[in-house]
Amino acid sequence: MAYVLWSRHLKFDPSAPQWFDRDRFILSAGHGSMLLYSLLHLAGYDLGIEDLKQFRQLHSRTPGHPENTHTPGVEMATGPLGQGVAHSVGFAIAEQYLSAKYPGLVDHYTYALCSDGDLMEGVASEAGSLAGHLSLGKLIWLYDDNGITIDGTTALSFTEDVGKRFEAFGWHVQTIDGMDLSAVDAAIVAAKADPRPSLICAKTVIGFGSPKLAGTNKAHSNPFGADELAATKAALGLPNEPFYDPEEAHLAFAPAVQRGQEAHQKWASAVAGTDLETLLSGIELDWSNVLPVISDKIATRKSSETIIQALAPVLPGLIGGSADLAESNLTHQKGFGDFSPSLPGGKNINFGVREHAMAAAVNGITLHGGTRGYGASFLIFSDYARPALRLSALMECPSIFVFTHDSVGVGEDGPTHEPVEQLTSLRAIPNFNLFRPCDGNETAAGWKVALRSTKTPTLLALSRQALPAVSPATPGDHPAEKGAYVLSEAEDAVITLIGTGSEVQHCLAAQKTLAEDGIVARVVSMPSWFLFDQQTDDYQESVLGEVLTISIEAGSTLAWPRYADVCLGIDRFGLSAPGDLVMKELGMTPEAIVEAAKALVAGV
């Protein structure tokens, strides 16, 4: 399948792996990474036989599972099953959107090669359902239907009619003999022609050629051993030579390379001087003019809504939406239409109640380039999206996630809807910028950081409830961009109060009360640990001060000892009641800070 696709269909230029209008190929079954490395090698990418010999070794360009940050020509990291296919939906959305906006300049297919495991995963169904609904006609999944997974045959656990499932999703489905090259070719031709997304169920044999292991789960990962290897090569008519790399195998891809390079050249002259070229060269905004000043006492989700309206007309590549909570997340770009088959240039995507596929699609949109994806839901449901959030960080993919209702302040919906451990658990992901602003102007700073980021995803954790404007009204140049800063300085302070998000206001109130009692406190707002940790030691020390520290955040205290001597937070599930009452009941108040500060200063 891969051979036919790469040699007869795939549009690519190995000398320019990032050429914008290439077809995208995603090896969703990432455990077959050597297949991808072999294709890249044979097709002339900068991946030599020496790289292949370093397979799975330290610092090699051929890691155990494909990683886009390590290997030219690898579009995304795959290995966690289901992710590749789910991300491919985002790539296809981006293509459909851009081809509507820049007709003639964007016109390529998105292919994903997937396995039984990929299609067993729930996220593949979410993604397949979304792709069918959106009629993503240039999305093609080749299903390596070999009837085998690690534990045995699919008879053990996977017996539904996969084709019928995808037909029900609105896909074009074909079933073929995947070992028959002309059948594969014909199926790809038909898939390209059909206006629906296409699934090619290709019956194949795992470990083909191996006399003892073909068609068994042992072929998945058991080492063959020297004898079986020799027997397999003999059966396939290959010499028994390690890393046998004949010239004619490369030549088989030469026509495809030539086609791709010609297409690339044609595209390069067509794109010159167009709006697409401007978009791809990167738009740097005049931030202080674009971002609004927000001085009202409103929810940070509401501030974000205002900011999104300011960004919508100036960022043509910014597309995204919510998992059926747009009314609550306030992520709609008003007047820019809903993305659909009849309006492929619409900037708002209705992801439906599919948080996991949404996050994956947002990454795909962002990785595609030309587009920047954002997705939204309640913070509590970040758990439903987490595998894709983690991948965004690992892939250095600067997706934007707008997760609102960021605390027990949610209130009446109760503990099932009240995030407690999510802030801490998301901060634990390396290269992941969790940003929890305290007011509208910090929210604008968060959006700016998110949009300027090139290698780090950003999650904006926004409040449901109104928060007073307390931070500097300096859009475009806000101290929150450093992750943490002194919001209220005090000479001869004996204590630093650190807050995030909705708790910053309580730090300011507590500071006043403490001053009346002769205890001088300073207040630090810390919307992002990630950004703060990147500042110089001097800056960090200047913010934290050489005094006692108390932190307050409506969430788990587990990690806060990193910054604070005393950590106020919520280490239990929440409660169903009006949000302000729940906050009070669980100790998120100025009074609690005052009490803790007095005890700390008194050395109790």
Residues labelled catalytic:
355
CA distance 301 to 496: 28
Say if residues 498 and 484 touch (Cβ distance below 8 Å). Answer: yes
The reply to whether 150 sits near ligand TPP by the rule CB under 6 A is yes
332 is written with which tokens? 């709609």
Q: Which residues are CB-neighbours of 297 under 8 A, at least 6 positions away?
A: 466, 467, 468, 469
Q: Which is nearer to ligand TPP, 220 or 368 (CB)?
A: 220
- Select from 43, 77, 81, 470 the one that contacts ligand TPP (CB under 6 A): 81
DSSP strand pairing (318-322 vs 348-350): parallel
Work out the number of other CB atoms within 10 angstroms of the CB of residue 538.
Answer: 8
- Select from 96, 99, 146, 198 the one that contacts Mg ion (CB under 5 A): 146
Selected range binding ligand TPP among 28-36, 99-107, 298-306, 483-491, rule: CB under 6 A: 28-36
Say if residues 431 and 396 touch (Cβ distance below 8 Å). Answer: yes
CA distance 158 to 119: 10
Selected range binding ligand TPP among 94-102, 143-151, 188-196, 569-577, rule: CB under 6 A: 143-151
Q: How far is the CB of 220 from Mg ion (least distance, A)?
A: 8
Q: How far is the CB of 166 from Mg ion (least distance, A)?
A: 17
> Residue 81: which of Mg ion, ligand TPP, none does it interact with, CB under 5 to 8 A by kind?
ligand TPP
Which residues from 100-119 bind Mg ion, rule CB under 5 A?
115-116
> Residue 345: which of ligand TPP, Mg ion, none does it interact with, CB under 5 to 8 A by kind?
none
The reply to whether 204 sits near Mg ion by the rule CB under 5 A is no
- Select from 27, 42, 86, 148 the one that contacts ligand TPP (CB under 6 A): 148
The reply to whether 348 sits near ligand TPP by the rule CB under 6 A is no
> Residue 79: which of ligand TPP, Mg ion, none does it interact with, CB under 5 to 8 A by kind?
ligand TPP
Selected range binding ligand TPP among 84-92, 148-156, 171-179, 457-465, rule: CB under 6 A: 148-156
Selected range binding Mg ion among 141-149, 255-263, 294-302, 586-594, rule: CB under 5 A: 141-149
Q: How far is the CB of 27 from ligand TPP (least distance, A)?
A: 11
End-to-end CA distance of the chain: 71
The reply to whether 31 sits near ligand TPP by the rule CB under 6 A is yes
Total residues interacting with ligand TPP, rule: CB under 6 A: 15
Q: Which is nearer to ligand TPP, 115 or 471 (CB)?
A: 115
- Select from 14, 80, 128, 437 the one that contacts ligand TPP (CB under 6 A): 80
Q: Which is nearer to ligand TPP, 205 or 520 (CB)?
A: 205
In 3D, which of 466, 472, 550 has the Cα closest to residue 514?
Answer: 550
The reply to whether 357 sits near ligand TPP by the rule CB under 6 A is no
> Residue 364: which of Mg ion, ligand TPP, none does it interact with, CB under 5 to 8 A by kind?
none
Q: How far is the CB of 145 from Mg ion (least distance, A)?
A: 8
Work out the number of other CB atoms within 10 angstroms of the CB of residue 455.
Answer: 11
- List phi, psi (to 5°) of 467: -130, 140
Selected range binding Mg ion among 142-150, 272-280, 323-331, 590-598, rule: CB under 5 A: 142-150
Selected range binding ligand TPP among 97-105, 144-152, 227-235, 457-465, rule: CB under 6 A: 144-152
Which residues from 107-136 bind ligand TPP, rule CB under 6 A?
115-117
DSSP strand pairing (400-404 vs 458-462): parallel
Say if residues 523 and 550 touch (Cβ distance below 8 Å). Answer: no
The HSE-up count of residue 29 (CA atoms within 13 Å, CB side) is 23
Selected range binding ligand TPP among 146-154, 321-329, 544-552, 573-581, rule: CB under 6 A: 146-154
Q: Which is nearer to ligand TPP, 31 or 405 (CB)?
A: 31
Selected range binding ligand TPP among 147-155, 460-468, 506-514, 541-549, rule: CB under 6 A: 147-155
The HSE-up count of residue 69 (CA atoms within 13 Å, CB side) is 11
CA distance 254 to 303: 54
Q: How far is the CB of 116 from Mg ion (least distance, A)?
A: 4
- Select from 10, 29, 191, 326 the one that contacts ligand TPP (CB under 6 A): 29
The HSE-up count of residue 543 (CA atoms within 13 Å, CB side) is 24
CA dihedral over 265, 269, 273, 276, signed as positive or negative? negative
Beta strands in 1-86, from DSSP E residues, in sequence order: 24-27
Give the three-state DSSP class for 126. Answer: helix
DSSP strand pairing (466-467 vs 298-299): antiparallel
- List phi, psi (to 5°) of 84: -60, -50
The residues pairing with 401 across neighbouring beta strands, listed in sequence order, are 375, 459
The reply to whether 149 sits near ligand TPP by the rule CB under 6 A is yes
Task: Quickly list H helices, 208-246.
Answer: 218-221, 225-236
Q: Which is nearer to Mg ion, 201 or 484 (CB)?
A: 201
In 3D, which of 402, 592, 433 has the Cα closest to residue 526?
Answer: 433
Place of tokens 């697409």: 276
> Residue 31: which of Mg ion, ligand TPP, none does it interact with, CB under 5 to 8 A by kind?
ligand TPP
Q: Which is nearer to ligand TPP, 216 or 540 (CB)?
A: 216
Q: How far is the CB of 191 from ligand TPP (least distance, A)?
A: 21
Give the three-state DSSP class for 337. Answer: coil
- Select from 14, 63, 79, 84 the one that contacts ligand TPP (CB under 6 A): 79
Q: How far is the CB of 117 from Mg ion (least distance, A)?
A: 7
Work out the number of other CB atoms within 10 angstroms of the CB of residue 598.
Answer: 15
DSSP strand pairing (298-299 vs 148-149): unpaired
The reply to whether 148 sits near Mg ion by the rule CB under 5 A is yes
> Residue 75: which of ligand TPP, Mg ion, none does it interact with, CB under 5 to 8 A by kind?
none
Q: Which is nearer to Mg ion, 148 or 349 (CB)?
A: 148
CA distance 577 to 589: 16
CA distance 559 to 417: 22
Beta strands in 229-315, from DSSP E residues, in sequence order: 298-299
CA distance 193 to 181: 19
Q: Which is nearer to Mg ion, 158 or 539 (CB)?
A: 158
Which residues from 189-218 bind ligand TPP, rule CB under 6 A?
206
Contact set with Mg ion (CB under 5 A): 115-116, 146, 148
Contact set with ligand TPP (CB under 6 A): 29, 31-32, 79-81, 115-117, 146, 148-150, 206, 220
